A = this chain, B = another copy of it.
Amino acid sequence: MTIGVSDEHKLMSNGDIDVTVSEVGPRDGLQSVKRTMPTALKIRWITALAEAGLREIEVGSFVPPKLLPQMADAEDVVRAAVKIPNLNVIALVPNLKGAERALASGVHTITMPVSASREHSMANIRMTPEQAVEQVRQVRQLCDRQPAGKRPRLDVGLSTAFGCSIQGDVPEDFVFELARKVVDGGADSVGLSDTAGYANPAQVKRIFKRLRSEIGSKAGAAHFHNTRGQGLANLVAALEAGVTTFDASQAGLGGCPYAPGATGNIVTEDLVFMLESMGLRTGVDLERLLAARSLILEGLPGEPLYGYLQEVGLPKGFRYANA
């Protein structure tokens, strides 16, 4: 197994790109910020991200607006985003009710969280993991009742797959039991999330390899939080295990307020820089991507932004992977 452009990556590559960077800032980032970014700004930001070359953006969350007022405009954001060319528009959906809203908005992909930690699952969505799997099954059936051409893709992310800040260890066997059940329930892909910054590279490589062996081509994206600064290190391990889709957030948006500097997500800019330097094509233009940071500040003045690349710039002689 090689770090870099392995045969596997070539095989899995989406035509002209080797790795898909899936931007989650407009959802995972903005829902972590107490203030609400105005809808028009969200749409301008998402447009700028797509114009920088990102092919997937998670643009919002269909949760009850009372719980997350920052996401109350999800319908409007999705309706605008699906008009952007060459963009897979993703929305998070916790349950059947959210799925109905998402379908009405015309989203391309629904992503549902299922927690591998029993305690986190109850605290987060007041459902057992098994009940969350049942929601996936019902959403699949709802999607299948849509007319052809209007059936969204259904991805699932297994939260706390590497450990949980409530219950501590999460048994690995249970992660794979859930992954199989979710596939049985009709998910198109199952990714793994390090919700609390608990993962280490050895564990990441072992678990993503086993995910591939358990559910084959339905093995999905890696979503690493950067709580303990291990995000890119874990990502290199996931690359070694053959993962080709990675979530990241512009400017690391989603920082925990109790942990200054401990950004919530891998910083998209630093990730794209790393992948392109490694010879893995992302399709993203770094200058345009960096320029899009200004829209966050326009919508959320004073919000702390993270990342290294914008401070020091590209190395002398930097070349994109396709150069």
- Given that A200-B278, A202-B3, A274-B200 are contacting pairs, would A315 and B165 also be in contact in the complex, using a CB cutoff of 8 Å? yes
In angstroms, Cα B226 to Cα A262, docked, is: 16
A205 CB to closest chain B CB (Å) equals 5
CB of A168 closer than 8 Å to a CB of B: yes
Question: Which one of A4, A256, A315 has the highest number of Cβ atoms from chain B below 10 Å of its Cβ?
Answer: A315
Please tell me if the beta carbons of A233 and B274 are within 8 angstroms of each other in the complex.
yes
Q: Give every chain B residue within 8 A of A203 (Cβ-Cβ).
A: 277-278
CB of A316 closer than 8 Å to a CB of B: yes
Question: Which one of A4, A229, A236 has the highest number of Cβ atoms from chain B below 10 Å of its Cβ?
Answer: A229
| A301-318 contacts to B (CB < 8 Å) | 306-309, 311-312, 315-317
| A1-23 contacts to B (CB < 8 Å) | 1-5
Copies in the complex: 2
In angstroms, Cα B3 to Cα A168, docked, is: 23
- Which of B258, B261, B309 is the one whose CB lies under 8 Å from A228? B309
CB of A290 closer than 8 Å to a CB of B: no
| A155-173 contacts to B (CB < 8 Å) | 163-169
In angstroms, Cα B201 to Cα A132, docked, is: 37
CB of A25 closer than 8 Å to a CB of B: no
CB of A259 closer than 8 Å to a CB of B: yes
Closest residue to A170 on the B side, CB-wise?
B317
Q: Give every chain B residue within 8 A of A315 (Cβ-Cβ).
A: 163, 165, 168, 196-198, 228
Closest residue to A273 on the B side, CB-wise?
B228
Please tell me if the beta carbons of A232 and B229 are within 8 angstroms of each other in the complex.
yes
CB of A183 closer than 8 Å to a CB of B: no
Please tell me if the beta carbons of B227 and A308 are within 8 angstroms of each other in the complex.
yes
Closest residue to A280 on the B side, CB-wise?
B202
Please tell me if the beta carbons of B278 and A3 are within 8 angstroms of each other in the complex.
no
Closest residue to A5 on the B side, CB-wise?
B202
Please tell me if the beta carbons of A230 and B262 are within 8 angstroms of each other in the complex.
no
| A161-208 contacts to B (CB < 8 Å) | 163-169, 196-198, 200-203, 205-206
Question: Which one of A206, A279, A308 has the highest number of Cβ atoms from chain B below 10 Å of its Cβ?
Answer: A308
Please tell me if the beta carbons of A311 and B259 are within 8 angstroms of each other in the complex.
yes
A259 CB to closest chain B CB (Å) equals 4
CB of A260 closer than 8 Å to a CB of B: yes
| A200-249 contacts to B (CB < 8 Å) | 200-203, 205-206, 226-230, 232-233, 235-237, 239-240
User: A residues engaging B (CB < 8 A)?
Assistant: 1-5, 163-169, 196-198, 200-203, 205-206, 226-230, 232-233, 235-237, 239-240, 256, 258-262, 267, 270, 273-274, 277-279, 306-309, 311-312, 315-317
Q: Beyond the given A232-B232, A262-B312, could you list 7 further A-B residue pairs with CB under 8 A, ordered by the A residue number?
A: A2-B202, A3-B205, A163-B317, A169-B317, A228-B308, A229-B232, A259-B311
Q: Which 10 A-B pairs have the closest CB atoms?
A: A168-B317, A4-B202, A200-B277, A229-B308, A232-B233, A202-B278, A168-B316, A259-B311, A236-B236, A229-B270
